[in-house]
Chain A
Amino acid sequence: MEDVVSGAGSMLMGSLAKTKSVKQPASVPRVSNDVSDSDEQLLIAVGNHQDRAAFNALFSRFSNKIYAMGMKLTRNEQLSHDLVQEAMLTVWQKAPLYDLDRGTAQSWIFTLTRNRCFDILRKMKRQPATVSADDIWPQEGDIDSQLVHEEAGTMEVEVSKIESFYGQLPAPQRAVVEQIYIHDRTHEEAAAVLEIPLGTLKSRLRLGVGKLRQMVGTEV
């Protein structure tokens, strides 16, 4: 999984360096001089009147790029195929929500491909389904949506007070734990301070720490 993630990083490694040069060509059509043929115009045509020809054009421009992103991240042909299907379906379904305020068409398609890819990878790695891409990158469809206010789950407090456990230790063990953990003394120093043999100190420490861990462990 590490290499999958670093693959994504290196794939886009050059992007920071390119940030400056990105702004001005954003709305300039790259493929054709005909403005009606820009990605943005195609996307708006799909959104406004379900333009099949415009959708075919977007499909042929982006599907191979989407497939390649899928192969890079999942190394799995079936999942990459699914990614093309899901990303292009989202393009079709959400095209009516696109407008130029949302940035360039290629950036819009990139973000929704990234999001579908996140969800596919999460399923592939069997990660908990707590959060989906749409929770993490909400700007794709529904920025500033009204949140429903409801009662949160009850707060359940489980008490684990290590200080009070410490007080429950027998005095000789407590003295040793105090020297080592509170005064930060070495075993030798602590044995000298307490005027006990080193062996005795070590066994009391082992017993004391063992008891504390047992007490904490039942609470943790």
Chain B
Amino acid sequence: MNIDAKYHPTPEQLEGYAEGSLAPGMNVVISAHVELCATCRQSISELEEAASEEWLRSTPDTRASSINFSAMIDSIVDHPQIKNDDTTSDNVPEIHMLDHSVTLPRALAKVASDGLVWKQLAGGINQATVTLDDQTQCEFLYMKPGSQVPVHKHQGSEVTLVLDGSFEDELGHYKPADFVVRTAKDQHQPASEEGCLCFAVLDSPLTFTKGLARLLNPFIRYRFRRATSAAAH
């Protein structure tokens, strides 16, 4: 599937994904974008070539004295080889939102396959949190048509991938496959006229800055802590 996305991950994020140096939550959201975006897929294969060059060039030839190489080789070549590409996933790739269903990119389908528990938040927002690691908070967000997320800012960065519908904020209008990055400096107020399903990854809790939504702050922090400590154990 290829969609012409207007907004892409930053070069640092793509590089981290190619190298494997990101937290699982961030890897998942980038993976989902890359599956939809031919431009980024091309960048990734170039970055992988570059990373492999660097790996071979900079890594010392540390010989592991503990390894019995010939025994290891003997045990490996006893295994049958894989002749055809049939590792088709048993994932659930769709999510049903009210009147229609949305096909999810592979990594997100896997994330959603355990079942999502949706909670309704203020302002017509539905949220289903998933725990992928102890450094990020990941969630599917469904914004009903005409809904608005309360004005908020982030302590760390927030990445949002649009999966269906669209949303807008002060800086743009975002459609499927668009990858929206907001950092601690940005205070923004996303809204969706037509309704929107997205997947968001936060590397620290949101802080609402206006109105009654500020009352939610302690709970958001609490949930973030709970989500991350659940991951740690």
What residues of chain A have their CB less than 8 Å away from a CB belonging to chain B? 1, 5-6, 8-9, 11-12, 14-16, 18-19, 22-23, 26, 47, 50, 52, 55-56, 59-60, 63-65, 67-69, 71-72, 77, 80-81, 84-85, 88-89, 92-97, 103-104, 106-107, 109-111, 114-115, 117-118, 122, 125-128, 130-131, 134-139, 141-142, 145-163, 166, 177, 181-182, 184, 209, 212-213, 216-217, 220
Contact = CB atoms under 8 A, between A and B. Distances in A.
Interface string B174-198: 0000000000000000000000000
B143 interface: no
B118 A156 contact: yes
Interface string B64-101: 10110100110111011111011111111111110001
Contact of A8 (B21, B63, B130): B21
Given A15-B50, A117-B20, A155-B96, A212 B110 contact: no
Contact of A96 (B16, B82, B233): B82
A84 B64 contact: yes
19 contacts: A8-B19, A12-B15, A22-B49, A55-B73, A84-B72, A93-B81, A110-B48, A114-B19, A117-B20, A131-B111, A147-B109, A153-B113, A158-B118, A160-B121, A166-B212, A181-B212, A182-B212, A216-B219, A220-B119
B27 interface: yes
B1 to A, nearest CB: 9
Size bracket, chain B contacts: 35 or more
A85 B76 contact: yes
B79 A92 contact: yes
A126 B126 contact: no
B27 A138 contact: no
Contact of A84 (B23, B67, B213, B216): B67
Interface of B: 11, 15-16, 19-24, 27-28, 31, 35, 41, 45-56, 58-64, 66-67, 69, 72-73, 75-77, 79-83, 85-97, 101, 103, 106-107, 109-122, 126, 130-134, 210-216, 218-219, 223, 231-233
B131 A15 contact: no
A156 B49 CA distance: 44
Contacts of B83: 96
A138 B50 CA distance: 19
Q: Which 10 interchain pairs have the tightest Cβ spacing?
A: A153-B115, A110-B52, A8-B21, A114-B20, A15-B54, A15-B50, A107-B52, A147-B93, A68-B59, A142-B87
Given A106-B56, A160-B119, A212-B215, A148 B77 contact: no
A81 B63 CA distance: 11
A64 B63 contact: yes
B64 A64 contact: yes
Nearest to A61: B56
A88 B67 contact: no
A114 B88 CA distance: 21
A50 B69 contact: no
Contacts of B223: 220
Given A138-B35, A160-B121, A181-B215, A18 B91 contact: no
B99 to A, nearest CB: 12
Contacts of B67: 63, 67, 81, 84
A60 B73 CA distance: 10
